[in-house]
A = this chain, B = another copy of it.
Amino acid sequence: MVVSVAHLGPPGTYAEAAALAYVSWLTQMGKEALLCPYPSIAQTLRAAAQGQVDLAVVPVENSVEGSVTTTLDTLWQLDTLQIQQALVLPISHALMSRAPNLEAIQTVYSHPQALAQCQGWLERFLPQAQLVPTNATTEALKYLDEDKTAGAIASSRAAQLYNLPILVCPINDYVDNYTRFWVLSLQPATGGSCTSLAFSVPANVPGALAKLLQVFASRDINLSRIESRPTKRSLGDYLFFIDLEANTTEASVQSALEELSTYTETLKIFGSYSILPVGKL
């Protein structure tokens, strides 16, 4: 049986790199896999939720730019997907262009997250260039053939795939630039030392958060991350996404979740999973 893996496309995106890393692990496990590119992160997740594909690989957070809010918001809405695995990928941005040198570049196209991750470098070495956002790093590449004064920021793999010259690499402001991805499916989570969940609290109970965190602190369960997102109902009304360094089958976690559910309005558990180590791409 071939496992179908959805990701933000087209080929050459960092999401495809993450999907490839996961597929190479699947292959080592003796499974065959097929990549399925989708035009947006929301559509990637919906494809898995609707059973059109077996798995979806989506970015969750970057070490420089923070959460990928579309992923969190769509997961909360869908309510059915479970995390099978986390992957942490080192990110290295390349500046590609058909311009003869840096001075000739007047416009730089890329995804807003990539532009933000290189803003210091761009201000220093391309102060004259106008920065233009695109929907995916790969979408930026289409301008390079027709416009010799255009540059694009994407992965070195994208430069190879589309046969484009790299002028400088890496150009990220922080060398330690990593993106965490989740592999999700309709299957039950596989277990591991990380657990992710999200909850909303009844409106107008802002002080409730300290009590909710105390539920974990009093049981010595470490939180590795807390992220707030608007409920979209009204300003000042939030959901919280939390990552625990623990597994849902542990007795302390089960009792914590039981206590937590008495304070929360809606509680969604995205499962326990492990982190797959992957090399530089």
Binding site for B on A (CB under 8 A): 42, 61-66, 69-70, 88, 112, 116, 119, 131-135, 174, 176, 178, 180, 206-207, 209-211, 213-214, 216-217, 220, 222-230, 232-238, 245
Q: Which of B63, B211, B230 contacts A64 (CB 8 A)?
A: B230
- Given known contacts A133-B112, A238-B225, A63 and B214 CB-to-CB distance under 8 angstroms: no
- Given known contacts A225-B236, A226-B226, A226-B228, A210 and B207 CB-to-CB distance under 8 angstroms: no
Q: What are 20 residue pairs bridging A and B, where the CB atoms are less than 8 Å apart in the complex?
A: A61-B235, A62-B230, A62-B235, A63-B233, A65-B230, A66-B229, A88-B235, A112-B112, A133-B134, A174-B232, A176-B233, A180-B235, A206-B225, A207-B217, A207-B222, A209-B223, A209-B226, A213-B213, A225-B228, A226-B226
Interface centre among A119, A209, A216, A229 (most CB of B within 10 A): A209
Contact partners of A233 in chain B: CB under 8 A: 63, 174, 176
A227 to B209, CA, bound (A): 12
Q: Is the CB of B206 within 8 A of A210?
A: no
A213 and chain B: residue at smallest CB distance: B210
A245 and chain B: residue at smallest CB distance: B206
Q: Is the CB of A206 within 8 A of B222?
A: yes
Q: Is the CB of A224 within 8 A of B236?
A: yes
Q: Which of B61, B180, B230 contacts A66 (CB 8 A)?
A: B230
Contact partners of A63 in chain B: CB under 8 A: 230, 232-237
A214 to B213, CA, bound (A): 9
Contact partners of A223 in chain B: CB under 8 A: 206-207, 209-210
A178 to B174, CA, bound (A): 34
11 further A-B contacts with Cβ under 8 Å, apart from A42-B119, A209-B223, are A63-B232, A63-B233, A63-B235, A66-B230, A70-B116, A133-B133, A206-B224, A206-B245, A209-B213, A210-B223, A225-B238
Q: Is the CB of B210 within 8 A of A216?
A: yes
Contact partners of A229 in chain B: CB under 8 A: 66
Contact partners of A211 in chain B: CB under 8 A: 217
Shortest distance between the CB of A174 and any CB in chain B (Å): 5
- Given known contacts A134-B133, A207-B223, A64 and B232 CB-to-CB distance under 8 angstroms: yes
